[in-house]
Structure 1
Amino acid sequence: MADNPLYDIRDERFRTLTVGSAALEELYRGCRWAEGPVWFSDLNCLIWSDIPNERMLRWTPEGGASVFRSPSNYVNGNTRDRQGRLISCEHGGRRVTRTEYDGRITVLADSYQGKRLNSPNDVVVRSDGSIWFTDPTYGIMSDYEGHKAEPEQATRNVYRIDPLSGAIEAVVTDFLQPNGLAFSPDQKQLYIADSGSASHEVPSHIRVFDVADDGTLRNSRYFCSIDNGNPDGFRFDVDGNLWCSAADGVHCFAPDGKLLGKILVPQTVSNLTFGGPKKNRLFITATQSLYSIYTTTNGVQYP
């Protein structure tokens, strides 16, 4: 059987991660910039953001797509905490929030050292309950994905919210525009994408840091670069392969940073997550649409 044209195979290991007969399914079309997918296993649904349309959408296998929240305050990235609550990055409010079980919104972070955050972008939760998020300026650069404003922070930082005190600490301050982030499967490393300047010129790489027991980051080093577009959101599978968004699709990198292959997508990919009952279905947000494709591997869930 001929190779599936959806796949750009650079290393034979990639072939073992993909289903040769799988189709790239378009589950929904109608977004202006789809982002922030998060899978809810207990509810068998996916929630994602449509930032410029200021709404969040929900997809279920039985019912398809529907509006989850509108207006959303220009929510971008989403994840869940250790209690299963939704954690979101709001461009509009320039803050990180938690949706309580009864629907109330709790503000977790909106300033640092007395100055407003830029526009929180993506967020992950570690097993100790700490919340980590990136804070580039994309949401305040124009009125398209938020409210145009001048940044108050001198740098574009990555922050950690302490699970006990709620204190906010800047753990990385030397990125041009920190974007997607994810922990390795054993949570001993944190990977962070730098999507470069406001004009998306440089850089387009992912760096990796060792995570100390006290939450500090050490030993910053280069992991990989995206050869088409810029890295945005990404996730790991259980074997430590990194699946990253790019302009031409999803790029899969081995634990040593080697590009194994690509899943080609007809729209610029912004983010992705593994979901489904077996965590072997890759959900992809790409400009106007939500896509999915099955893999032979399983995604790491945090939590």
Structure 2
Amino acid sequence: MPFRLVPITALILLAGMAVLTPPGRADEPQAGSQFYEVRTYELGDQGDEALLDSYLESALLPALERQQIGPIGVFSPSAADETGTQAVFVVIPYDQLEQIATLRDALASDEDYQAAAKEYLDRPHTNPPYERIRSELLSSMACWPELQVADGSLENDERVYELRLYESANERIGDLKVDMFNNGEVPIFLDVAITPVFIGQCLMGPQMPSLTYLTVYENDEARRQAWKDFLAHPDWKVLSKNPKYAGTVSHIDKFVLQAKPYSQM
């Protein structure tokens, strides 16, 4: 039987069918009530971060706002990041999967976007502003069903963020890690000043099965102290020793980030 390519719209619809929403009041945020694209512009050694910033700030973010998509987070590695990554991270929340399916056409017909993005879009292929774009699509989880920008965080220039991806060995084990978050891990976060922005289980992406989350802190010293407090928290000591959750994480990616001046998170 020959291999056939499945249109991206069909993939998005299938992903939506896979999201299970638990029972509850219709007006309460629930798992799967939002979707998050974590888009990584890998700059490489020849990337033009200034051009990319201009495109994101002046073209893409205003166009997304016209589509009622946002708030948008834009980040780069901070001085505290130890990965050596040269990249710009963009977090785009969607209330409906259909927004993803129709976004390309919406941008193509948006004259303001096309004008603002002209320099970026007309860049010769011999001199691209980035090496590649990597994206993952996430579904919100019951423990944190909607993206939240912490009160006062945008006014704090010293704030730092941490983006973590937890990869699991197989789908069953990955679901157990989701269960661990939904049944005890996030209250410990909040108790030690680890403040989530979003938490999502991966529906599509280069690293699966996995979950990804973004947290914010007053500064890097507060970030470091919060994780020390988390590891010492008595509830974490009990939860982490539960044999049900043994071996749920096979690989961790961790990036310490700072917000771009025009970031909406």
Q: TM-score, normalised by structure 1?
A: 0.27
Q: Please identify the structure whose Cα radius of gyration is greater.
A: 2
Whichever structure has more helix as a proportion of its residues is 2
Specify which structure has the bigger relative contact order, considering alpha-carbon pairs within 8 angstroms and separated by 6 or more residues: 2
Q: TM-score, normalised by structure 2?
A: 0.30
